[in-house]
Chain A
Amino acid sequence: EIVLTQSPDTLSLSPGERATLSCRASQSVSSTHLAWYQQKPGQAPRLLIYGASSRASGISDRFSGSGSGTDFTLTVSRLEPEDFAVYYCQHFGNSPPYIFGQGTKLEIK
């Protein structure tokens, strides 16, 4: 079973800075099956990126995804106050189980 490891666990940055979040898979995965979600306290997760690099509907172009094989990255180009949240990567294999990374908390420095 594939394991997704996100790093860092916590990232402390200031508004206006650039955030780079990593998701590493224990074995090579198809980028078609890699998604990113944002979750704010007390709220449900929200889809940000699917297929490793495609933005979901209504998502700001400050969010971008990249990567292939075992290494994937979520970048937030210029942090806004509303971007501080927990971010999860997820892999959809050809069959379940569907695996989530443990999450990266992006906090205000």
Chain B
Amino acid sequence: EVQLVESGGNLVQPGGSLRLSCAASGFTFSDYFMDWVRQAPGKGLEWVGLIRLKGDRYTTDYAASVKGRFTISRDDSKNTLYLQLNSLQTEDTAVYYCAKENWSKFELWGQGTLVTVSS
């Protein structure tokens, strides 16, 4: 089955850290750019960042709101995408989705994992 499954969401205190995972199956993971998108409670979608391919040296890009605090990585041998969240702030509270990017579209989304930043 073609799917993405996120995990790792949790309650964390402001200033804390968390690592999210996204396990891919049913497609050749290493062939696709992968992205993270988040959605704060009751709000719209916000692009977080992306990671390119091995041939692109796994380069990354980030939204200004998370640059310097969040890091995206991937392990193609494990078909897994990661999002390391550091220096978390209350405004980072959101459902985090991973998405498979393919030629200017997010054609596959995970079910999301909830990150709550609160004291």
**Which residues of A pack against B, CB within 8 Å?**
32-33, 35, 37, 39, 43-47, 50-51, 56, 88, 90, 92, 95-103
Contact = CB atoms under 8 A, between A and B. Distances in A.
A97 B111 CA distance: 22
Nearest to B108: A47
A11 to B, nearest CB: 16
Given A98-B35, A100-B46, A45 B97 contact: yes
Contact of B106 (A35, A101, A103): A35
- The SS class assigned to the B binding surface is strand
B64 A56 contact: no
Nearest to B46: A100
A90 B108 CA distance: 15
Contacts, number: 62
A62 B62 CA distance: 35
Among B44, B46, B97, residue most surrounded by chain A Cβ atoms (within 10 Å): B44
B110 interface: yes
Contacts of B37: 45
Contacts of A100: 44-47
A96 B61 contact: yes
The 5 closest A-B CB pairs, nearest first, are: A50-B105, A92-B104, A44-B109, A96-B61, A98-B47
B34 interface: no
A44 B105 contact: no
A45 B61 contact: no
Given A44-B112, A97-B61, A88 B44 contact: yes
